[in-house]
Amino acid sequence: MSRFADRSGPIRLGMVGGGQGALIGAVHRVAARLDGHYQLVAGALASTPERARASGLDLGLPDDRIYGSYSDMARREARVKDGIEAVAIVTPNHMHLPVAREFLKRGIHVICDKPLTGTLADAKKMQVAAANADALFVLTHNYTGYPLVREAKERVARGDLGDIRLVQVEYAQDWLGEVPDPGNKQADWRTDPARSGVGGATGDIGTHAFNLARFVTGLAPEALAADLQSFVPGRALDDNAHVMLRFVGGARGMLWCSQVASGSENALRLRVYGTRAGLEWRQENPNELRVTPLGGSTTVVTRASGATGSAAGRVSRLPPGHPEGFFEAFANLYAEAAQAIRAHRTGAALPEGVTYPDISDGVEGVAFVEACVRSSKRNAAWVPL
């Protein structure tokens, strides 16, 4: 039973990172408050006390709950009466491990942006810290929160596609197609090995594509062969990757991720082909799932329609025809985490259907990135996963 078992009302949430000018911090805050499950009450929102204070005041946080460092925040918020129960970590990758460990060891649940860490060594340390903590660890691979991604997973699991043969997943962007302007914070740390880790595009968006394929198909990868490029002159990390995948049981896959694909905005796409049918889902049109039986005609399944099942239904908010998108999918993960946190308070069983990416998914993702780098350095040789 959690030390927070006597709590009621919204979950008290803190945030590390995500201050002024940070995109993903704002996304997490919107997702957390969309369903009323959380209340942001504390933060260490920037790497300097001055910017942290300015960011906290912008969000209306109480003066005594704005912290200049995450370690001070973890120590002072580890109190039963009104301290935070969960913390969202939205820093660059290299800070995920030290920040999460400070909160986990105090029994504070962690909701961490992906990838888990910048290196596999750090990911394994995080896994140990999470295993030894009386706290949950949630990783925000938010694309698993879309209703029709849940629908696709349900259809694969019940055998609608037959035996899976092929998995094609891609995530194409163009925002790093040129050397970014000086002062572009989002590009600055993502292209810096010291802060991003060993992977560039593979870590930033390749892990999303890999996780999506794993989530929907349930297939376990056993080996990969990767060809990584850094097309922009002077770039230290990959900005494009072509990856072949072998899955346990014989299925084969291909993953392409790129941040230099001119004309592509946020083109995440998954196709799965089995012995009986195939399906396709695109994040830029997330309210449709295309399903085609072998030798038959394509059916377009729309969100919240009569063709969807319970997995999609429990994470849909609006009637058919009203589009739900990125914020709602992200909020679904926060809502799943809230149900898990409330169950953890009293030791109750997790409600049926609740699912979210966890520490094991995070370790898998970083292992995928390091395997891609290792393979590419060996001229795209096959390496085990």
Band of pLDDT at residue 1, cut at 50, 70 and 90: low
- Residue 321: other Cβ atoms inside 10 A: 10
Spatial distance between the Cα atoms of 288 and 298, rounded to a whole number of angstroms = 12
Whether residue 27 is predicted with pLDDT greater than 70 in this model: the reply is yes
**Structure-derived torsion over alpha carbons of residues 375, 273, 149, 115, reported in degrees to the nearest 10:** 0
Mean per-residue pLDDT of the chain: 96
| Per-residue pLDDT tens over the stretch 282-318 | 999 999 999 999 999 999 999 999 999 999 999 999 9
| Per-residue pLDDT tens over the stretch 70-102 | 999 999 999 888 999 999 999 999 999 999 999
At residue 183, the pLDDT reads: 83
Residue 352: both structure tokens together? 């049926």
Spatial distance between the Cα atoms of 248 and 241, rounded to a whole number of angstroms = 22
| pTM strictly above 0.85 | yes
Q: Which domains does the chain have, with CATH numbers?
A: 11-143+333-358 (3.40.50.720), 146-317+363-384 (3.30.360.10)
- Whole-number CA gyration radius for the chain: 21
At residue 251, the pLDDT reads: 98
Whether residue 5 is predicted with pLDDT greater than 90 in this model: the reply is no
Residue 342: both structure tokens together? 């409330």
At residue 21, the pLDDT reads: 87
| Per-residue pLDDT tens over the stretch 257-271 | 999 999 999 999 999
Q: How far is CA 293 from the centre of its chain?
A: 31
- With contact defined as beta carbons under 8 Å apart, do 139 and 358 qualify? yes
At residue 153, the pLDDT reads: 98
At residue 8, the pLDDT reads: 72
Band of pLDDT at residue 182, cut at 50, 70 and 90: confident
Whether residue 2 is predicted with pLDDT greater than 70 in this model: the reply is no
| Per-residue pLDDT tens over the stretch 214-248 | 999 999 999 999 999 999 999 999 999 999 999 99
Residue 356: both structure tokens together? 């979210």
Spatial distance between the Cα atoms of 24 and 27, rounded to a whole number of angstroms = 5
Instruction: Answer with the residue of higher pLDDT: 4 or 97.
Output: 97
Band of pLDDT at residue 149, cut at 50, 70 and 90: very high
Whether residue 274 is predicted with pLDDT greater than 90 in this model: the reply is yes
Whether residue 165 is predicted with pLDDT greater than 60 in this model: the reply is yes
Share of the chain above pLDDT 70, in %: 98
At residue 260, the pLDDT reads: 98
Instruction: Return all residues near 271 (Cβ < 8 A) that are at least 6 apart.
Output: 166, 167, 168, 169, 278, 279, 280
| Per-residue pLDDT tens over the stretch 111-141 | 999 999 999 999 999 999 999 999 999 999 9
Biggest alpha carbon distance in the chain? 65
Q: Which helix (H) or strand (E) holds 258?
A: strand 252-258
